[in-house]
Amino acid sequence: MAGLANLPPLPDTLRTRLAECRTLPSLPAAAARVIAIARSPDPCLGDYARTIGQDPALTLRLLSMANSASYSRGGNPVSTCLDGVSRIGLDATLAIALSFGLPRPGKNAVLDHEYLCQRAIIAATATQELAQHLCPHEAPQLFTTALLQDIGILAFEALDGDAYAAHIPDLRQHQKLSEAENERYGCDHALVGAWLAVSWGVPSPIAVGIIDSHGPLADGDARKLCLRLSCRIADCWLAADSASAFSALLRQLASVASLDIVMLMTVMQELQHRLPSLARLFEITCPPAIDSTHLLAEAKELLFEQNLRMTIRLAEQQRELEALHASHVVLDEQHRTDHLTQLANRPWLEKRLEQHFDCAKRARQPLAVMFIDLDHFKLINDRFGHRFGDEVLIHFAAALNNMVRESDIAGRYGGEEFLVIMPNTRRQQAGILADRIRQYLTSQPLAQADGEPLHVTASIGIADLEDGEFEDAAALVDAADQAMYGVKHGGRDGVAHYEEPDPSA
């Protein structure tokens, strides 16, 4: 079967079973001869007419279509096969022949063949009408393709009968149907339908189109879009709640720029007009009549209500997210803040210092740290109590936070020890801040003790990257700590800068 070479392969086991199945759908001999003519290099109208004229059923269906409202356009009725083929064209003639492969109700059928046939007729007509807007030259062939898009379901039914019906969802759940087929057989009915169509001898573009009829709606390929949208229109038309179904379809169409509600309205109105005659032509029960204008208006109203509910829900979710974010901010603030002084705590200080240290090293920028220790703080605690000492720490922390720059990070390192990280700062600039801190402590008491102002002094050590070769951030802090202890040993209440030890000394 040479035509199969252009299609994705069937799973081996399934291909073997299909090849051995003797009950697969087939076409009358006359229809098969029509297809053979269509595949010939130079088919002519006379060949079609002579072949069709040999089969009364084909002849009747051909003349019925040629004299239908879709093709007669007010002209005189035709009574010969040649006139009929001339009027409807070769593609429509091929569709007439292939329509004999559509499902027919029978006592051995396990599936709803009437639904399948109605779906095929609606989809074929919708495809043709959509193509008139998007790709007019493709319209006749797309009608035939959409007509056959679900013949793979008939092949599965012939292959497994009740077992197939038992393992698939309702035929109206088309997406779930394909998923169940893929799970059970390794492919869905679209691929099997293409395989069956090729076995009938249909032109390969039709077989490829059967596969293309299943997929997402998207711009870029008008042929695929017509086929895929037509299936969905058919599903909506035959749904128990058509308005809700079309509402869901309108939501999908919102992302397809080449389609709009006006086009869909036109297609629906033409469908309503053509379906009764097509149902008679193909000898099926006419699909239910609907008021397309009212239905789409109702669908748009439902869509608006759904979008409104979604907008309200999104607003609620946004408020929940904002509240959650605010909660996380509070938790993060608590995680990195000293609970007493509200400055940065030691873990956060060390983390930020490591970041600034690495950044300054890479960019060759200055970085300074200041280590502050409040003098004689143990005596304050011993004399006035820890609650009083906490008050002193709180007041000093507030003053320190007001004196540092926005780019600086001040924090409590431990007990009465404080650390200030100063990015892009050299020792002279750091020294200016240290002097401001000492001047403040000299002029402003940090508490009142026994009715008298209590002044506290501080020992301050400063280290910056230019003071030595520091391996890491911790070494820089140690250097500032050493400078601070130098002040302590020298009598307290002062500022010292770290000096690299002289190796020769």
pLDDT tens track for 276-326: 888 887 777 777 777 666 766 766 675 566 566 667 777 777 887 777 777
- Structural domain contains residue 235: no
**pLDDT at residue 96, rounded to an integer:** 82
CA dist., res. 420 & res. 430, Å (int): 10
pLDDT given for residue 184 in this prediction? 93
Q: What pLDDT does residue 5 have?
A: 47
Give the residue carrying structure tokens 């709803």. 112
Contact 463, 497 (CB under 8 A): yes
Domain end marker among 42, 76, 102: 102
Residue with tokens 């009608």: 143
Task: Please name the residue that has the structure tokens 């390794």.
Answer: 186
* 41 lies in some domain: yes
In angstroms, the CA 191 to CA 340 distance is: 72
Whole-number Å distance between alpha carbons of 80 and 66: 10
Cα 50 → chain centroid? 55
CA 436 centroid distance within chain:
57
Handedness of CA 473, 479, 481, 484 (dihedral sign): negative
Catalytic annotation present for 416 = yes
38 found inside a domain: yes
In the beta sheet, which residues pair with residue 463? 369
* Domain C-terminal end among 102, 121, 138: 102
- Residue 483 near residue 463, CB atoms below 8 Å: yes
CATH of the domain at 397: 3.30.70.270
For tokens 């403040």, the residue is 440
pLDDT single digits (tens) 178-232: 999 999 999 999 999 999 888 888 888 888 999 988 888 888 899 999 999 999 9
Asked if residue 389 belongs to a domain, the reply is yes
467 near 369, Cβ under 8 Å?
no
Per-residue model confidence (pLDDT) at position 303: 59
- Evaluate whether 231 touches 149 at the Cβ level (below 8 Å): yes
| pLDDT more than 70, % of the chain | 91
**Under 8 Å between Cβ of 61 and 281:** yes
In a domain, 90, yes or no: yes
Kindly report, residue by residue over 400-434, the tens digit of the pLDDT: 999 999 999 999 999 999 999 999 999 899 999 99
| Number of domain units in the chain | 2
The torsion angles phi and psi of 260, rounded to 5 degrees, stand at -150, 170
Pick the residue with more confidence: 491 or 328? 491
Q: Residue 492: phi, psi to the nearest 5?
A: 70, 180
What's 236-254 look like in SS3? HHHCCCHHHHHHHHHHHHC
Query: What ranges in 213-345 are assigned the alpha helix state H?
Result: 222-238, 242-253, 261-281, 292-336
Q: Which tokens belong to 11?
A: 């799973």
Angle between helices 189-200 and 204-212 (to 10 degrees): 170
So what's the pLDDT on residue 305? 65
In a domain, 117, yes or no: no
400, 343 Cβ separation under 8 angstroms? yes
* Domain C-terminal end among 68, 102, 136: 102
| Distance in angstroms (rounded) separating the CA atoms of residues 114 and 111 | 9
Most confident listed range (36-45, 145-154, 243-252, 319-328):
145-154
**52 part of a folded domain:** yes
Q: Report the C-alpha gap between 362 and 6 in whole angstroms.
A: 59
Q: So what's the pLDDT on residue 203?
A: 84
Sign, CA torsion 196/202/207/210:
negative
Residue among 416, 417, 452, 469 flagged as catalytic: 416
Domain containing 440: what range? Answer: 346-497
Q: Using an 8 Å Cβ cutoff, are 243 and 295 in contact? A: yes
- Pairwise pLDDT comparison (305 vs 273), residue with the higher score: 273
Any domain includes 54: yes
CA distance linking residue 393 with residue 401, whole number of Å = 12
> Alpha-carbon distance 439 to 419, whole Å?
18
Specify the 3-state DSSP secondary structure of 107. Answer: coil
pLDDT tier at 252 (50, 70, 90 boundaries)?
confident
